[in-house]
Amino acid sequence: MSAQTLYDKLWHSHVVREEADGTCLIYIDRHLVHEVTSPQAFEGLRLAQRQPWRNRSVVATADHNTPTDHWDEGIKDPISRQQVETLDANIKHFGALAYFPFKDRRQGIVHVVGPENGATLPGMTVVCGDSHTSTHGAFGALAHGIGTSEVEHVLATQTLVAKKSKAMLVKVEGRLGQGVTAKDVALAIIGRIGTAGGNGYAVEFAGSAIRSLSMEGRMTLCNMAIEAGARAGMVAVDQTTIDYVKGRPFAPSGADWEQAVAYWRTLVSDEGARFDRVVELSAEEIAPQVTWGTSPEQVVAIGAHVPDPAEQGDPVKRDSAERALQYMGLQAGTAISEIAIDKVFIGSCTNSRIEDLRAAAAIAKGRTKAANVKLALVVPGSGLVKAQAEAEGLDRIFIAAGFEWREPGCSMCLAMNADRLEPGERCASTSNRNFEGRQGQGGRTHLVSPEMAAAAAIAGHFVDVRTFA
C-alpha cells in the first residue's frame, strides 16, 4: 500500500460503507454532547421511538449556559436553565458513559472535559454538535463538529454520512521564542492562510515546533483549525500524546493499554505521504499575535500597527477591514500596544487548561490589574482544572492581582450566560472568535494568548509579553 497520511489512516479505519460518488458512512467512536445542540436530537429519537445505538459512546456535560459565579443560586436565566435541565432529563432517560452535570466536580467545557478524562483517545472518531470539536484532533483522532440533525443520526446509528476532505499539511519548523505560544501559532497560521484557507481540508499540524508543544498547546492549535475553515485539525501521536493519556479514567489499562499504545504509535503520516496542499511557517518568525478586526484572520504581531484598509488590494477584504475598524472603534496606523482595554477574559476551550492558567498567573504574580480594566475574568475550563489550579495557588495569585476567579464553563467566550461585554467595551480575550457581538452586543474582542491577556490586564493596554517586566 502506498504511503498514507494520518488522516487517510483515521478515515479508512472508520469507513463502514462507501458509495460510488465517494459518500461514506463512517463509524463514530466518541460522541460528546452539550446542552445547546442536543435537545432536538434527543427529541427526534423519542418521536421515532428509538434508543441510542451505543449510549456508552456518549460523554455529556453542561457548559454554554451555566453561570460562572453564585452556583448556590442555580441558573437564573429561565431559557438557560431549561436547556441544562433538558440535558439532565435526556441523559437520565437515554444513558451515557459519563455525564458531568451542572455543579459536578468534573463539569466543564466539553472540549476540556473529554481529553482530561481520557474519553478522547488516539485513533478515535470524535464528534460533537459543536464546531470546536476539532480540538480533539490533537490526540491523533479524527474530530469535527456536526449539526443537530447529525447528532440525532449519530445517536441513532453510531455513524455519520461524510465525504473525505482533501489533506493539508501545515508545517511549523524551528523553536518558538519565549512568550510565543500555541495560540500565537494558530493565529499566525490563520493570518497567513485566511479563515477560508482550510475550506475543504483536514489539516495535519507537523514540524519540530508542533512536536515540542504540550498536549494543551496542541489542543489550542487544533481548536482553532476550524477558524481557518478546516474540517478538522490533527497532530500525529508521539510520546507526549501517550504520556498525557496514561492513567486517565476512561483510558485503557493493563494489557489493553499495551495493545492500544502499539496501535496508537502507527497513527502518524507515513514518510512520503502525499498532501494536497503544504503550508510552511518558521517558528522563529512568529511573534505574540493580537487580532485587530472582527475575523480571526485580521491579526498582526504585537509590535505592529492597525493596518490601513487602503493598502489592501483585494476590494472585498478592503471593505471588510473598513467595516471592522469602524465596529472596533480603531484608527488605521494606531500601534497595537496603544490600544487600551476595558475587560480581560482568560478562558474558553481554546485557552482554559491548567497550562494556560499557569502561564497567565506567572504574568499576574505580584502585580495588580490596571485601574482602567473593569474586569479581568479567569474561568477554568473544568472543575478539575479549577481544583488543580487551586492546589497550585493560582487562584490566590489572580485574586491578589485583582482578577476574578470563577466557576468553569464557556463564560464570556460567547454571550450565552451572564458573562458578557457591554456595547463598546473592548476585551483582550483568550477565546477563538472575534465576530461582531460574539462576547455581547457591541462588544469588541481582541484574540490573544493567556500570557498576552494577563499582561494587558496589568498594563491596561496591549503589551509585548516578551519585554514585559
Ligand X SMILES: CC(C)[C@H](C(=O)O)[C@@H](O)C(=O)O
Q: How far is the CB of 269 from ligand X (least distance, A)?
A: 28
Stretch 95-134: interaction string toward ligand X, x if CB under 6 A:
-----------------------------------xxx--
The interface partner of residue 419, options being ligand X, ligand SF4, none and the CB cut-off 5 to 8 Å by kind, is none
Q: Measured over all CA atoms, what is the biggest interatomic distance in the chain, rounded to whole angstroms? A: 64
* 419 binding ligand X? (CB under 6 A): no
Q: Does 429 bind ligand SF4 (CB under 6 A)?
A: no
Q: Is 68 among the residues that bind ligand SF4 (CB under 6 A)?
A: no
Q: Which residue has the cell 483522532?
A: 141
Can you tell me the distance from the alpha carbon of 327 to that of 31, in angstroms, rounded to the nearest whole number?
38
Q: What's the min distance (Å) between Cβ of 37 and ligand SF4?
A: 10
Length of the chain: 469
- Residues in contact with ligand SF4, counted by CB under 6 A, come to a total of 13
The nearer residue to ligand X, 109 or 286, going by C-beta atoms, is 109
CA–CA separation, 382 and 387 (whole Å): 9
Query: Which one, 167 or 232, has the nearer CB to ligand X?
Result: 232
Best CA proximity match to 158, nearest among 19, 55, 49: 55
**Interatomic CA distance for residues 305 and 301, integer angstroms:** 8
Binding pattern for the stretch 386-425 against ligand SF4, x by CB under 6 A and - elsewhere: ------------------------x--xx-----------
Residue among 36 and 448 whose Cβ is closer to ligand X: 36
- 24 labelled ligand-binding: no
> Is residue 193 involved in binding ligand SF4 (CB under 6 A)?
no
Half-sphere exposure of 315 (CA within 13 A, CB side): 0
The answer to whether the annotation marks 413 as part of a ligand binding site is: yes
Binding mask 29-68 for ligand X (x = CB under 6 A): -------xx--------------------------x----
146: contact with ligand SF4 by CB under 6 A: no
Return the one option of ligand X, ligand SF4, none that residue 109 interacts with (CB less than 5 to 8 A, by type).
ligand SF4
| DSSP-assigned letter for residue 49 | T
Binding-site size for ligand X (CB under 6 A) equals 8
145 contact, one of ligand X, ligand SF4, none, CB 5-8 Å limit per kind:
ligand X
Query: At 110, which amino acid appears?
Result: V
Cα–Cα distance measured from residue 87 to residue 41, given in angstroms and rounded to the nearest whole number: 11
Under rule CB under 6 A, residue 148 binds ligand X: no
330: left (phi over 0), alpha (psi -120 to 50) or beta: beta
Angle between helix axes 215-223 and 354-364 (nearest 10 degrees) is 100
C-alpha cell at 399: 485574586
Is residue 128 a known part of a binding site? no
d(CA 308, CA 10): 43
What lies within 8 Å, CB to CB, of 289 at 6+ separation is 183, 184, 187, 188, 191, 299, 300, 301, 302, 447, 448, 449
Burial of 443 (0-12, 13-18, 19+ CB in 10 A): buried
**Residue closer to ligand X, measured from CB, 113 or 363:** 113
Residues that bind ligand SF4 (CB under 6 A): 63-64, 109, 111, 130, 132, 348-349, 410, 413-414, 431-432
**Which residues carry a binding-site annotation?**
349, 410, 413
Residues that bind ligand X (CB under 6 A): 36-37, 64, 130-132, 145, 414
**Which residues carry a binding-site annotation for [4Fe-4S] cluster?**
349, 410, 413
